[in-house]
Amino acid sequence: MTTEELLGIINNSVKDRLTSLDLSRGYIKEIPPEIGQLKRLIKLDLNRNELSTLPAEISQLTKLEMLNLDDNQLTSLPPEIGQLARLAELKLNRNNLSTLPPEIGHLAKLATLDLDDNRLTSLPPEIGQLTRLVELKLYRNSISMLPAEIGKLSSLILLDLYRNQLRSLPTEIGQLTKLTALYLQGNQLTSLPPEIGQLKILKKLKLDYNKLNGLPVEICKLMNLIELDLSVNQLDNLPAEIGQLKSLTRLNLGVNRLSTLPAEIALLNRLIELSLNGNQLSTLPAEIGKLKSLAELDLGANQFNKLPVEIVLLKHLSELNLDYNQLTTLPAEISQMKSLENLNLNRNQLSTLPAEIGQLKSLTILNLNGNQLETLPAEIGQLKNLTLLTIYRNQLSSLPAEIGQLESLEKLDLEGNRISSLPAKFGQLKNLEVVDLRDNRLSTLPAEINELPESMMLGLSGNPILDVLPQEVVKQGAKAIIEHCKEKQKENQNLQVFLSYAREDKEEVRKLYQKLSELKYSAWMDKENLLGGQDWKHEIKKAVENSHIVIVCLSNNSVSKEGFFQKEIKFALDVADEKPESIIYIVPLKLEECEIPDRLTDWHCIDLFNGKGFNELIKAFEFRKEKLKK
């Protein structure tokens, strides 16, 4: 806005007897002296301009009650500003003020003074003359000391000194008896004066990001305090008197040096949120279970190696954070936490989950990232309200079929495990929006995955399946990959696979049979396929002869065993003699580290136990299927 345009606006405003004038966002660099002609003006908005000074004539706006100068480049205020006798609201946020003129104290009716984001290093003693001041905002300045006169602000309700350089508070702070909110976070306070206990109606006290190494007992006299934030300090103990803060609903003690809590903390019976993350706690007082109103408890980044049993008494707890601890197990009593909605167990040392976890019927978020889980209990399928399940970087090799019962699940993160196949019931997760299966050992997907939503995001990078998929399919994304796998599994039904094994390995081989069946391969295992009354020797011989591939399952049990297992191998060798040398027919498969019988050494052996063996087996099947097509 040019000076001529601004003068035109001023002249028209005088003629129109305006009481309110908005000159914000006008790129104004200078206010002309003619501004003083606006004698009737009550409200003047000059925010978001480029002003570096104000004319002395501003003092002639004697009826002005609100002056907004936010977001300019003011480096100082003219002394004449003190003549604005009716001014009730002065906004100077985000300027470059380094000092205030003493005349600021003449603004006897000032109720709100906003000085956030300036460069103030001190306040003039005259600030104490503003006895009608209700709100004083000084966020993000460089004030290192408050004048004693601050205590004369007898009407002050809100004092915001967030992110300054205060090292101490004057004892006169205790004279601000109408104060309800005191924000002192982000300073360099090492202690508090006892007089802080005189702020009898204070409701919010924020002291986070200071250097406090102790608390005065008097702080526990703040009977009306609702919110107390002491996080990121250097506290190593709490006074027992903290239990006197009966009105407290939110208490943040995160990132201190606490190794114990006083039993009296249990007296805070209105407490809703308690944050204790980033301390040195390994136990909690037994009395903690008396916090009947507690809904959120943060115990992350402590030294717990077991879940404090007292926590299960917190019947209204809806959020529990235990990330970055040393938990190895969860107690069965966790089933009592019926209100729990969000459970964070990220970065612990859990190798198993109790079946009782399935009783947490209200759970919507479960974070198990970075543990050592090898399996999930079938009962996890009982979590019908679960929307987010993250099990990133564990040691899972499979998922229970019951995972398909998680009917509300929207996001599932399984990145960085050892999963080689998905259960067929995976396709029942109809509400899935995101599935992250990156960096696993998947060589195929179940046909049922095609039943998942078309819009679902599917992460598969770092899996063997991408090595065998045509690149044009990979480039087309999740939907094309799923469709391709569906077609592949139709082909799988044509591949006849015989499983030869010693009876001692029955359970291990049954797991292999189930995985192959989920992928739609026509696997044959005597314990699964033989019918009552059949001549088992005849049926086994026939199954060997009709198979396209014979898997000889080897273990320390089988290699030295006499009996029909050896005859099965002989049947297979006889059939192999009739096959072309270029095809795969016999596949020795080691279930554990063991010797290979001499008569099977001509064939490359796969180690199923090394984690990659199943994928190697599937590659062998793919090769055999291609030969069958020809």
Is the pLDDT reported for residue 629 higher than 80? Answer: no
Mean pLDDT of 39-50: 96
Looking at residue 630, its pLDDT comes to 61
Instruction: Show Cβ contacts of residue 476 under 8 Å, excluding neighbours closer than 6 positions.
Output: none
Looking at residue 600, its pLDDT comes to 84
Phi, psi (deg, nearest 5) at residue 336? -80, -10
Looking at residue 249, its pLDDT comes to 98
Looking at residue 470, its pLDDT comes to 76
- Of 262-266, 296-300, 397-401, 466-470, the one with minimum mean pLDDT is 466-470
CB 554 within 8 A of CB 590: yes
Looking at residue 544, its pLDDT comes to 82
With b for 16 or more beta-carbon neighbours within 10 A and e for fewer, the 173-200 pattern comes to bbbbeebbbbbbbbbebeebbebbbbbe
Mean pLDDT of 251-274: 97
Is the pLDDT reported for residue 393 higher than 80? Answer: yes
Is the pLDDT reported for residue 614 higher than 90? Answer: no
CB 303 within 8 A of CB 281: yes
Is the pLDDT reported for residue 320 higher than 90? Answer: yes
Looking at residue 489, its pLDDT comes to 66
Cα–Cα distance measured from residue 257 to residue 213, given in angstroms and rounded to the nearest whole number: 9
Length of the chain: 630
Instruction: Show Cβ contacts of residue 525 under 8 Å, excluding neighbours closer than 6 positions.
Output: 499, 501, 509, 510, 513
Looking at residue 490, its pLDDT comes to 67
DSSP string covering 20-33: EEE-TTS------G
- Which of 242-246, 439-443, 507-511, 586-590 tops mean pLDDT? 242-246
- Which of 48-57, 458-467, 544-553 tops mean pLDDT? 48-57
Tokens encoding 160: 């915001």
579-610, pLDDT tens digit by residue? 777 788 889 888 889 888 888 888 899 998 88
Instruction: Show Cβ contacts of residue 17 under 8 Å, excluding neighbours closer than 6 positions.
Output: 40
CB 356 within 8 A of CB 379: yes
With b for 16 or more beta-carbon neighbours within 10 A and e for fewer, the 516-537 pattern comes to bbbbbbbbbbbeebeeeeeeee
Looking at residue 596, its pLDDT comes to 87
Mean pLDDT of 297-317: 94
Is the pLDDT reported for residue 481 higher than 80? Answer: no
Cα–Cα distance measured from residue 282 to residue 304, given in angstroms and rounded to the nearest whole number: 4
In 399-551, where does DSSP find H-type helix? Answer: 465-468, 471-476, 478-492, 506-518, 526-529, 536-546
Helix (H) or strand (E) holding 569: helix 564-576
Beta-strand runs (E) in 144-248: 158-160, 181-183, 204-206, 227-229
- Of 193-207, 483-497, 544-558, the one with minimum mean pLDDT is 483-497
Cα–Cα distance measured from residue 332 to residue 27, given in angstroms and rounded to the nearest whole number: 66
Whole-prediction pTM: 0.80
Cα–Cα distance measured from residue 468 to residue 458, given in angstroms and rounded to the nearest whole number: 17
Cα–Cα distance measured from residue 354 to residue 521, given in angstroms and rounded to the nearest whole number: 33
Closest alpha carbon to 215 in 196, 239, 232, 197:
239
Residue type present at position 129: Q
Looking at residue 493, its pLDDT comes to 67
**Choice between 484 and 262, residue whose per-residue pLDDT is larger:** 262
279-304, pLDDT tens digit by residue? 999 999 999 999 999 999 999 999 99
